[in-house]
Amino acid sequence: MKTGILCSALLLLTSCSLPQAVSTHMAENGRDKQPGRLLNIRIERWDTVRFSGLLGLREDAGGLVYVLLDATGVKLLQAEVAGNGSFTLLQESGPLNKSGLAPFLSEALARIYLQEPVRLPCTGSWFYRLCREDEVGSSVKYGQAGPFTVWRVTGKDPAGAAAVTYHQPWLGVKVKLERLKSGK
């Protein structure tokens, strides 16, 4: 009985929806199609590497379009993501066919690139808040349910100098995105 209540509470905390007043990066900046970028992606669970490969991203007025590639460049997953984390699966193949990675990765990418608090540092209620704290050389964005951090994004955009790390501490999951190093 206690285990069921604990599991229900954890599920509620980790699946909270966005606060009513959350802007999305795309809507705020009014950008239309931007050039894409190619990033290294590494997904870990409890410090064990679960996936390592490449991630192609393109931002447009509706959100993001992403392509997940293995280390050799074979397309494994392609989806479109909206600011609220909803996604449209365009292709899922190979070892990722019906793996359930698309919903997780779509939500993580929406949190990293699209969701921003309307007012800094935080937007929302005590039950669920979206916050961003910028300091010189670093940035932290997080979702908080009561006193608990549900997820956290640290670092700068991979188009900048530093990597971005998305972390869900309750699930032990980390996604690290880094700009590809040029051969020059």
Domain boundaries, the chain: 20-117+156-179
Average pLDDT over residues 67-82: 91
Question: 106-152, pLDDT tens digit by residue?
Answer: 999 999 999 999 998 999 988 999 999 887 777 899 999 998 999 99
Mean pLDDT computed over every residue of the chain:
79
Helix (H) or strand (E) holding 3: helix 2-14
> CA–CA separation, 132 vs 123, rounded Å?
9
Map residue 121 onto helix, strand or coil: coil
Question: Over 70: is that where the pLDDT of 102 sits?
Answer: yes
Q: Name every residue whose Cβ is closer than 8 Å to that of residue 78 and which is 6 or more positions away in sequence.
A: 65, 66, 67, 68, 89, 90, 91, 92
Report pTM: 0.77
Average pLDDT over residues 87-98: 81
